[in-house]
């Protein structure tokens, strides 16, 4: 299960003082767990300075502006499992992905990989060894591959950079094996990316990510740019590779049908924070948070043919000026004064991690 933190980043094991559990359930603060989780994110946060240029601020008297893209996200992923992060565009999913692979430096918090501080390790000479174990599959297969390189060079580059293969003949054989593992032919190594379809390009991206034999793959919406039939092929390849190699995935998507197919746990994000984190079956069968319910109600269901679907209500607030209290309260049908004034902590309620005053108080 995930370790989560309160707003100050401190971990506690006991229930909050003065707060009651909803009828029939228990509420506890999250504590750091001692387990075999491969990936552990602790109070992970990232803010960006989006202020106007210095001269504009001086002449026009404008203040500095900070965007909190991720604001205190905590979770764990066990080895060989998949955690999916879902939410509307702009909720911070991709920023979490870039934090975990070291493309961004966290403003607060951090994450450990195999019991070592990953962000500290990334800055050391030994960080290259850690990067071999953590790889990323990017969203756009058209932008993530160098159009001037042959596939052989694209897939083989990680092998050369990490000194895994030196002999040219061995390099060709290794690249051919990687292409074969994702359903392509070794003959494809002599082609350029523009000679492939979108699904084939994403397979090349997966082959490149697998080149260093990683243990943890961060997948940032790897199928969102593909047709539905091609999505299924790529997802099946990823599931097969996970079984064969014992891979651990962080899978980011806004497609809940895809998430249901690939994940073991699901985390729902809203304006930079986790609002619900649960086992896949629990979340889809019995969603607790009003935002999660809203997202699931908008999905067409085969057994509900003819029933009007409930569209997602309202708009995501401006992240530069988020609402006070619970940031979801302007769109929530269960809002009260406490929701408008006090930001909910991520609590464990009947085994589900949820940040909602209404659920905590037993109102829903």
In which band, very low, low, confident or very high, does the pLDDT at 233 lie, cut at 50, 70 and 90?
Answer: confident
CATH number at residue 244: 3.40.50.300
Structural domain contains residue 301: no
Structural domain contains residue 214: yes
Which residues contact residue 5 at a Cβ distance below 8 angstroms, ignoring those fewer than 6 apart? 11, 30, 42, 43, 72, 74, 109, 346
Tell me how far apart the terminal alpha carbons of the chain are, to the nearest angstrom.
24
**Residue 303 in tokens:** 């057994």
**How, if at all, do strands 216-220 and 134-137 pair?**
parallel
Structural domain contains residue 336: no
**Residue 183 in tokens:** 């359903």
Structural domain contains residue 4: no
Give me the pLDDT at residue 98, please: 94
- Mean pLDDT is lowest, of 16-20, 45-49, 202-206, 252-256, for 16-20
Give me the pLDDT at residue 30, please: 40
Q: How far apart are CA 86 and CA 93, in angstroms?
A: 7
In which band, very low, low, confident or very high, does the pLDDT at 303 lie, cut at 50, 70 and 90?
Answer: low
Average pLDDT, the chain: 86
pLDDT in tens, 83-124: 999 998 889 999 999 999 999 999 999 999 999 999 889 988
Give me the pLDDT at residue 28, please: 40
Tell me the backbone φ, ψ of residue 112, rounded to 5 degrees: -110, 145
Structural domain contains residue 275: yes
Going by the DSSP 8-state scheme, the letter that residue 22 receives in this structure is P
Nearest to 249 by CA among 80, 44, 93: 80
Structural domain contains residue 317: no
**How, if at all, do strands 27-28 and 82-86 pair?**
unpaired
- Tell me the average pLDDT across 340-352: 92
CA distances from 114 to 35, 215, 291, 357 (A): 11, 10, 33, 34
The number of domains in the chain is: 1
Range(s) of the domain holding residue 259: 27-290+349-360
The model's pTM is 0.83
**Residue 309 in tokens:** 């679907």
Structural domain contains residue 304: no
Structural domain contains residue 18: no
* Residue 94, SS3 per DSSP: helix
């Amino acid at each position: 299960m995930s370790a989560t933190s309160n707003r100050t980043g401190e971990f506690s094991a006991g229930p909050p003082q003065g707060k009651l559990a909803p009828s029939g359930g228990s509420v506890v603060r999250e504590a750091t767990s001692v387990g075999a989780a491969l990936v552990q994110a602790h109070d992970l946060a990232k803010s960006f300075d989006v202020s106007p240029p210095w001269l504009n601020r001086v002449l026009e008297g404008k203040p500095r502006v900070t965007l909190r893209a991720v604001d205190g996200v905590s979770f764990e992923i066990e080895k060989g499992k998949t955690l999916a992060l879902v939410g509307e565009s702009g909720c911070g999913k991709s920023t979490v992905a870039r934090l975990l692979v070291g493309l961004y430096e966290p403003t607060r918090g951090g994450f450990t990989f195999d019991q070592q501080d990953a962000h500290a390790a990334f800055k050391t000479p030994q960080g290259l060894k850690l990067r071999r174990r953590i790889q990323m599959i990017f969203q756009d297969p058209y932008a993530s591959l160098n159009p001037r390189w042959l596939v052989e060079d694209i897939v083989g580059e990680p092998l050369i950079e990490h000194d895994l293969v030196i002999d040219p003949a061995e390099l060709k054989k290794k690249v051919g094996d990687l292409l074969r593992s994702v359903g392509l032919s070794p003959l494809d190594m002599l082609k350029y990316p523009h000679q492939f379809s979108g699904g084939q390009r994403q397979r090349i991206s997966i082959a490149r990510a697998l080149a260093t034999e990683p243990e943890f793959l961060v997948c940032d919406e790897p199928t969102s740019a593909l047709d539905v039939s091609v999505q299924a092929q790529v997802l099946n390849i990823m599931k097969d590779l996970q079984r064969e190699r014992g891979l651990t995935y962080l899978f980011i998507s806004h497609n809940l049908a895809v998430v249901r197919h690939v994940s073991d746990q699901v985390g729902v994000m809203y304006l930079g924070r986790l609002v619900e984190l649960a086992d896949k079956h629990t979340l889809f069968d019995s969603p607790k948070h009003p935002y999660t319910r809203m997202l699931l109600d908008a999905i067409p269901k085969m057994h509900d043919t003819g029933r009007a679907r409930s569209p997602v209500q309202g708009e995501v607030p401006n992240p530069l000026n988020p609402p006070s209290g619970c940031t979801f309260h302007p769109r929530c049908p269960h809002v009260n004064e406490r929701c408008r004034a006090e930001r909910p902590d991520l609590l464990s309620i009947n085994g589900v991690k949820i940040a909602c005053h209404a659920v905590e108080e037993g109102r829903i």
